[in-house]
Amino acid sequence: MKLKKIIESLNEWAPAELAEDFDNVGLLLGNAEQDVQKILVAFDVTPQVVEEAIEEQADLIVCFHPLIFKGLKKLNAAEPTAAMLMKLIKNDIAVFALHTNLDQTENGPNKEICRRLGIENSEVLIPAEQILYKLIFFVPEAQAEEVKSAIFAAGAGQLGNYSHCSFSSAGTGSFRAEAGAEPAVGEINQIHLEKEMRVEVLVKKNHLKEVIAAMKEKHPYEEVAYDVLLLENQSNQLGMGRVGNLVEPMNGELFLEHVKKVFNLKMLRHSTPLPLNVRRVAVLGGSGAFAIAAAQRQGAQAFISADFKYHDFFKGLENFMICDVGHYESEQWNKLIIKNYLSEKFPNFAVRISRINTNSVNYY
């Protein structure tokens, strides 16, 4: 299978446009036209993971944390990242990273955390912004449904659990085809009036290019009149973290025991345990101190994330508890999530999870 087919599928699932500005996701190493027969899914790319990929004769490593994060000025084998890149190139192994774009997907890591904790009916904690566009175009009434069907198939008009959403209004378009034009209707150098529909649809950023292409392909006009507007609307499906209610509320100490069991922890850093029952819980895999205020605004009584600093714990209140489960631990199921997605999309394809535990934090 060509690598580009796998990339297309991964981009459909976790669009690169969802990644944070500081991130570096997508195809970090390799040629989209190269053949892939075996994929190794890893949390981090380390020298041990590179050796494992070579041993397994993998053609592609799909990782969560990007191998190339900051700019490289030279490929020198004395530098660890450069040494890994050189070995990967020598063995023709490509590297594709899914990071904060995967974090923001609807059925990504945070949904999995909620499932394992027993949090039901979860919602996005920090909704993604500036990922929606409004496409407005004008089409003759006779061809309106055909063009709409094409753009819906390309991904337009999706609103939550509703598809094929649009608004149409009737009007009259006018134009004069000048010399050199090949009009679908009307005559050269004659002003023509045509009954048209103004069609408005919402399009997610990652579908915009395909939707516009589909519109132009099915549209009868030689030149298509359309507008694309960036919206400030927040997404109710995509974004950082999730928040919801436990199936059964539990007191503060029992909740902490529950968290330790679910995340398989030897220890758990937390602010003062709540004296009352915990019901509403926010979660965010990875470094989540930036989302404390959002968790409080959403009414969470407990916030589970990682990498909190000493002073962050002072934001724990008598009705709000902060739980630091560790960075790796909060994202420990990401390899499985990626593997399951790839296996479902490519059932006859060899996909395996790396055996290497790349957690760099140890407890004595």
Predicted pLDDT at 232? 83
Burial class of residue 308 in the structure, from the number of CB atoms within 10 Å of its CB (0-12 exposed, 13-18 middle, 19+ buried): buried
Residue 268's domain comprises: 109-125+240-325
Residue 65 marked in a binding site:
yes
Look at residue 119 and tell me if it is in a domain.
yes
Look at residue 292 and tell me if it is in a domain.
yes
Q: Does residue 179 sit in the same domain as residue 227?
A: yes
Residue 55 marked in a binding site:
no
Q: Does residue 137 sit in the same domain as residue 168?
A: yes
Residue 192 marked in a binding site:
no
Look at residue 34 and tell me if it is in a domain.
yes
Q: Does residue 7 sit in the same domain as residue 95?
A: yes
Q: Does residue 121 sit in the same domain as residue 136?
A: no
Predicted pLDDT at 71? 79
Residue 207 marked in a binding site:
no
Predicted pLDDT at 207? 87
Q: Look up the CATH number of the domain holding residue 164.
A: 3.30.70.120
Predicted pLDDT at 204? 87
Residue 348 CB coordination number (10 Å) = 6
* Exposed e or buried b per residue across 137-159, where buried means at least 16 C-beta atoms within 10 angstroms of its C-beta: bbbbeebbeebbebbbebbbbbe
Q: Does residue 116 sit in the same domain as residue 144?
A: no
Q: Does residue 147 sit in the same domain as residue 198?
A: yes
Which residues are CB-neighbours of 333 under 8 A, at least 6 positions away? 109, 112, 113, 116
Residue 173 CB coordination number (10 Å) = 17
Q: Does residue 172 sit in the same domain as residue 244?
A: no
Count structural domains, the chain. Answer: 3
Look at residue 358 and tell me if it is in a domain.
no
Which of 182, 207, 231 is where one domain is finished?
231
DSSP strand E in 83-213: where? 94-97, 119-129, 132-140, 167-176, 191-204
Q: Does residue 140 sit in the same domain as residue 226?
A: yes
What does each C-alpha distance from 332 to 92, 243, 324, 359 come to in angstroms?
A: 28, 19, 14, 9
Q: Does residue 117 sit in the same domain as residue 69?
A: no
Q: Does residue 137 sit in the same domain as residue 226?
A: yes
Look at residue 138 and tell me if it is in a domain.
yes
Predicted pLDDT at 73? 85
Residues in the chain with pLDDT < 70?
Answer: none
Which residues are CB-neighbours of 121 under 8 A, at least 6 positions away? 244, 245
Model confidence pTM above 0.85 = no
What token pair was written down for 343? 């296996």
Predicted pLDDT at 234? 76
Look at residue 359 and tell me if it is in a domain.
no
Which of 231, 262, 278 is where one domain is finished?
231
Residue 298 and residue 125 in contact, taking contact as beta carbons nearer than 8 Å: yes
Measured between alpha carbons, how far apart are the two ends of the chain, in Å? 45
Q: Look up the CATH number of the domain holding residue 290.
A: 3.40.1390.30
Q: Does residue 244 sit in the same domain as residue 278?
A: yes
Look at residue 8 and tell me if it is in a domain.
yes
Predicted pLDDT at 56? 95
